[in-house]
Amino acid sequence: MGDHKEQPLRVGAAVRRRRRSLDLTLAVVAERSGLSVPFLSQIENDRARPSTSSLEKVADALRTTAVELLAAADPACSVDVVRAELAAPGPGPRSRSLVRGHHQMHASEFTGDHEAGREFQYRNDQLMYVADGAVEIEAEGRAYRLGRGDTLYLTGGVRHRWRATVPDTRVVVVAVAEHIEAVRDRRR
């Protein structure tokens, strides 16, 4: 149960990631593959499952193989459990991913002290939730103090840094994955 190996794969996101990494439009891939733009759009949005022949044509147009696209595909299952006992035991700062695989959402849990001098800036939106303890967060030149149960929402592009102010603080960070273009570039 929850085992990705039992589930069919969604190849659409892998096709889209590959196409975007090559800076190609759907029209260019359509021309190279001999497939229509609407059909390619349906593949990328997982509304159509390409035949082996069609997937090979798409792969050739993207200068890769069908095997590579399938290897990069997302599992179609909607349930996956990440057990707490898989977290690295012991004292000191720790982090663990709360979502496995290459998905549209990324979530991590940070426990203990955190490198306060490290500045972060993500392209997409992010939510920080203090599960235990307390943190100080500096974002866009303002300081915020958060305690257990508090959240802070940061839009994409906001520069920030944070540090735990209480031992054994646990912070959960949830963000739209970097490979997803959830927000437009917010240059000032």
Tokens of 172: 């959960």
Q: Is 111 exposed, middle or buried (0-12, 13-18, 19+ CB in 10 A)?
A: buried
> Residue 52: which residues within 8 A CB-CB, separation 6 or more?
66
Torsional sign, CA 178, 102, 19, 12: negative
Q: So what's the pLDDT on residue 6?
A: 43
Q: How many CB atoms lie within 10 A of CB 9?
A: 19
> Residue 88: which residues within 8 A CB-CB, separation 6 or more?
94, 96
pLDDT single digits (tens) 98-123? 877 666 677 888 888 766 677 888 88
Residue-averaged pLDDT of the chain: 81
Torsional sign, CA 46, 183, 157, 17: positive
Q: How many CB atoms lie within 10 A of CB 38?
A: 11
Share of the chain above pLDDT 90, in %: 40
pTM as predicted: 0.56
